[in-house]
Amino acid sequence: MGSIKSLGVVMALAMAPPTSAQQPAIGPEVVQQAVALLERRFGPSEGARIRRGVQQVAARWWAEDGDAQAFLAFCQNNFEPVSALGPAFARLEEALEQVEGHLHEVRRELLRPLDLDTGPVKPVDQLLAQLDLASHLTEDLFRTKVAHWALLNFPLHTLQERLREGPSWDRETWARSRLMDRFALRVPAQVGQKVSQALLAADQYIASYNIPMDLLRDGQGEALFPQGLNLISHWGLRDELKAWYGQPGGLQRQRLIQQLMRRIVRQEVPQGLINSRRLFYDPFSGKAQAADGSSPSPEDLLPEPNTRYRLWLANFHALRAIDPYSPTAPSALARSFELERQIPEAEVERVLVQVLAAPEIRALAKVIAQRLGRPLEPFDLWYAGFASRAGYPEEVLNRHVRARYPSVEAFQKDLPQILKKLGFSPDTAAFLAERIVVDPARGAGHALGAVRRQDRAHLRTRVAREGMDFKGFNIAVHELGHNVEQVFSLHRMDRWALAGVPNNAFTEAFAFAFQSRDLELLGLNTQRQPSDEILGTLWATYEIAGVSLVDLRVWRWLYAHPQATPESLKEAVLSIAREVWNEYFADVLGEPNCELLAIYSHMVAYPLYLSDYALGQIIGFQIGQRLRAGNFAQEVERMTRLGRLTPDLWLKQAVNSPLSAEPLLQAARQVLQQR
């Protein structure tokens, strides 16, 4: 695996125990002295602001920042009265947009050879990718005392405060609250650098985990896939499996892919097959032989040395090293749910289980089994019969897309027309298209937004030499939904500090809304009934909710077992996947103790991200109801310009209801009752 040559270094760094956290150097008596000095100068009307600001600074003032006298002098010289806060905040906001934006652009350039399909990755590319200048930004903001100045003058709000008081705040208050999130944690640069290195190694591993499908053999030694078909795990394998529904020989191929997925999560795939063409491999028997007829090398036949789980564990240790510097959210779990999603972990789990245990799922499974004319099997987790493309063979869709988009440049040129087909006015379509750059992805594809308003968003999707295929187009339309949200919520936002949406689930919701119109954008008749869209959304939510629950439980296990080895983590992941399967899937899809839920690559490369997909489906349905009822383009723009409020407040302003799976379940219930 040439893309992870630095794995040993990353493991050595990330496996190191968390360093001892810096202790605040200011005691309560000095805090009280500073408060008294400022209250005498600015009056009792500023008392509450003074006390909170001084305490916020003291909690993050280290010995290297100065002694007690330096602390007192800083507070006296830098506290701003209410009358001066507006211009002072505007200057800070303006400066951070430029600083963070330029650092983001530098990082994008350093990662370009790894993220984009621009030829072989050179050793210098891997070295440059480890250069993360932004990892020092927080340290520099504290070292220069810019962060202390902000903490002295503006409050850090907890999630509970935002939930309680946020509905009554004006836009200025929300902007100040969101900007202050940048100063909640004071993490040493070397700790942040280790996180970047660990995540980078995991991302490189996943991006290069490709399987040559034409070299696979079924239980009878037959080749089932066309020459040159190379699929990334898990995205490409999953999408290929979906594409075979309703096709001759589809069931045999789906079962082979399922068996390959099992081998991947168990780390049983021989190394000579991964991103290589050296072996023929039968996932059913586990037998391999040299593709050129010679004797295979012993190294090629060896399975991976738990690489998947080594990288997963490296991410855990790197993120755990932040814990001592995060007193209000002292774990990666707490930071993921309370700081990033702004939804309590227990509430997310409740929504996931609400879908997983729903009787509507069981009723829907019977409908799917009737359509297929057979009992459901585990891989039917990815049943695609409700998708608009279900009536079109994959090769027909591929020909259609390749003729239209033979290159990345062709898709870039067509962006204004695509956006106009979605309902955007010519002026708005041009505005959006000018701010989106299309790139050829090395991995599965992703959307990378801008940070400065002078920059552009990037859309990454796979484009083969013979042109874009339907999978690439489908991904591109999904990523376009992200990009449109990113452009509107930055370039047409009233305050930069509010740029974006409440969390990743919301941008996924817009991406799903765009993706569902893929065939429409190709000018093909979708023949998709609204009832099918509802049932398809519910089934997709069921699938990703189970995977999300596995991800969540594994991270809880990691915190309970911080001394885990890659082997023990592998056994825990497989055990948890079996447990979740037995709780919520075995009665629907059969085969108790199935481990298929562990296949998602996000678990390795994007820690704790998967819940955003499940929430995105649920939020997407809530948003989708409004988009279908109104003008799609106008509603997309209106919603994306609400900004980074709390999720419930955003949804109440967008669709007049809080986060809930009930609208989706209720709609599915009505459809199922009519069948």
pLDDT, tens digit, 9 for 90 and up, residues 337-350: 999 999 989 999 99
Q: Give 496-500 contacts, CB < 8 A, sequence gap 24+.
A: 496/93, 496/94, 496/97, 496/175, 496/453, 497/93, 497/175, 497/176, 497/178, 497/179, 498/171, 498/174, 498/175, 498/178, 498/643, 498/644, 498/645, 499/643, 499/644, 500/449, 500/643, 500/644
User: How far is the C-alpha of 14 from the C-alpha of 317, rounded, in Å?
Assistant: 5
How many C-beta atoms lie closer than 10 Å to residue 547's C-beta? 25
Residue 136: pLDDT band (50, 70, 90) is confident
Please compute the mean of the pLDDT values over residues 271-281 and round it to a whole number: 95
Whether residue 234 has a cis bond before it, omega within 30° of 0: yes
Measure the CA–CA gap between 664 and 669, rounded to whole angstroms. Answer: 9
What pLDDT score does 390 carry? 54
- Looking at mean pLDDT, say which of 126-130, 515-519, 560-564, 610-614 comes out highest: 560-564
Band the pLDDT of 511: cuts 50, 70, 90.
Answer: very high
Radius of gyration over alpha carbons of the chain, in Å? 26
Among 263-267, 393-397, 420-424, 427-431, the minimum mean pLDDT is found in 393-397
592 φ, ψ (degrees, to nearest 5): -55, 150
Give the model confidence (pLDDT) of 14-48 as tens digits.
333 333 456 668 999 999 999 999 999 999 999 99
Residue 12's pLDDT is what? Answer: 34
Instruction: Tell me the pLDDT tens digit for each residue of 622-661.
Output: 998 888 888 999 999 999 999 999 999 999 999 999 999 9
Q: Which percentage of the chain shows pLDDT scores above 70?
A: 95
Cα separation, 624 vs 618, whole angstroms: 10
**pLDDT tier for residue 2 given thresholds of 50, 70 and 90:** very low
